[in-house]
Structure 1
Amino acid sequence: METIYFSGGCLWGVQEFMKYLPGVERTQVGRVNGATHSTKTAYDGYGECVKMEFNPAIVSLETLIDYLFEIIDPYSINKQGNDVGEKYRTGIYSKETNHLLKAKCHIERLENALNDKNKTRKKVVVEVLPLTNYIPSDNEHQDRLTLFPDDYCHIPLRLLHKYKKKT
């Protein structure tokens, strides 16, 4: 198992989308790269994120990044849907240098492909940084959209459960 942290706007929607992907074994919402070690403090520079444990024999990091790009606007700075502010930035974080190198290379390829397709020269603004701090969110935020499916989500419903297995 490997661990990666994705930020893509409000953590509720990102978790609800990611937890159904093949190879993703566990998800947990939290805060990444803030200054403190408590969820009880005011905003301290953190980004909302989803911690994912995944099986690389089933899903590659590059494929997970492709999935992330399905649900974010990679050109938007500190805004996804109606969620605005630095805590809603997009990013990929890891303790593993290899993850960060793979992510940077893959994002560069995605940026080139998107620009060629759209005939533009826009810069993808998804940050790729070492994980310096992670704090799990309180229980009320874990699996929020599974428990309260009518809560707000910036991810369109047609995408939100695209990979959910039919039971």
Structure 2
Amino acid sequence: MFFFKKSPEMPTPAEALPGRSRPLPTATHHFVNKRPLKGPYPEGLETAIFGLGCFWGAERKFWQTPGVWVTAVGYINGITPNPTYEETCTGLTGHAEAVLVVFDPAQVSYEQLLKLFWEIHDPTQGMRQGNDVGTTYRSGIYATSPAQKAAAEASRAAYDVALKANGYPPITTEIVEAPVFYFAEEYHQQYLAKNPNGYCALSGTGVSCPIGTGVTA
């Protein structure tokens, strides 16, 4: 990930950059599996969106998961329309870096994706992940249906108990209905497939998430 000084505070609408009315140019197909990033997606597939720090390493974790049909990286839950990467790096767009995951629920459940999400990053760090500091690196789940939102909230409650039992502070992950997902520029898509030795600071807590094991909050 490129290194910019990022603000740990969310901007107000008055402070936010103006952005633009047109989407950014980006890749049309996934670099690894060649499937269309923006669809159309096959019937029966579902979409999930997660923010867990630098989206380069996070995306790789999801595209390597059996049952995931295609992934893409982008920006979500901010103020500025159609932001560029450089704009998000100022902290003045309000967006989080995020991964869009299109998956086949017959092969991998949303709960399994939630378990992966929780375990591959530290959701207690607020506006950062490790050495990556700023609002763009906050943890978030952006639900595309009421069922997803309910499942995400239940999993957060269960994992919060597990983390606190291991000495971690409360989870800071935001869970909201998915707003507009802005696809990032082409060079960010599947970045670690194009740059195998590229930067990835993704690191979990080592605490297992009990979702799917019969444990409830």
What TM-score results when the alignment is normalised by the length of structure 1? Answer: 0.86
Q: What is the rounded CA distance, in whole Å, between the counterparts of 2:162 and 2:131 in structure 1? A: 27
Is the contact between residue 29 and residue 51 of structure 1 (CA under 8 Å) also seen in structure 2?
yes
Gaps of 5+ in 1: 157-167
Q: Which amino acid aligns with 2:96?
A: G
Is the contact between residue 48 and residue 102 of structure 2 (CA under 8 Å) also seen in structure 1?
yes
**Superimposed CA distance per residue, residues 85-118 of structure 1 (whole angstroms, 9 cap, x where no aligned partner):** 00000111023121011100111111112323x1
The answer for the alignment partner of 2:70 in structure 1 is: 26
**Superimposed CA distance per residue, residues 34-88 of structure 1 (whole angstroms, 9 cap, x where no aligned partner):** 2233133723100000000111111121211111122211211111122110000
Match of 2:187 among 140, 151, 167: 140
Aligned residues: 154
Tell me the SS of whatever aligns to 2:106: coil
Is the contact between residue 79 and residue 88 of structure 1 (CA under 8 Å) also seen in structure 2?
yes
Q: What is the rounded CA distance, in whole Å, between the counterparts of 1:126 and 1:61 in structure 2? A: 17
The answer for the alignment partner of 1:109 in structure 2 is: 158
Tell whether 2:60 aligns with 1:11: no
The answer for the alignment partner of 2:202 in structure 1 is: 155
Gaps of 5+ in 2: 1-44, 204-217
How far residue 121 of structure 1 moved from its aligned partner, in angstroms, is 6.8
Q: Which amino acid aligns with 2:83?
A: T
Is the contact between residue 39 and residue 138 of structure 1 (CA under 8 Å) also seen in structure 2?
no
Q: Which has the larger radius of gyration?
A: 2
Q: What is the rounded CA distance, in whole Å, between the counterparts of 1:135 and 1:109 in structure 2? A: 30
Q: What is the rounded CA distance, in whole Å, between the counterparts of 1:37 and 1:86 in structure 2? A: 17
Using the aligned pairs only, state the percent identity.
Answer: 34
State the Cα RMSD in Å: 1.5
Q: Which amino acid aligns with 2:155?
A: H
How far residue 151 of structure 1 moved from its aligned partner, in angstroms, is 1.4
The answer for the alignment partner of 2:79 in structure 1 is: 35
Is the contact between residue 124 and residue 168 of structure 2 (CA under 8 Å) also seen in structure 1?
no
Tell whether 2:103 aligns with 1:54: yes
Tell me the SS of whatever aligns to 2:164: helix
More helix as a share of residues: 1
Match of 1:126 among 173, 176, 181: 173
The answer for the alignment partner of 1:98 in structure 2 is: 147
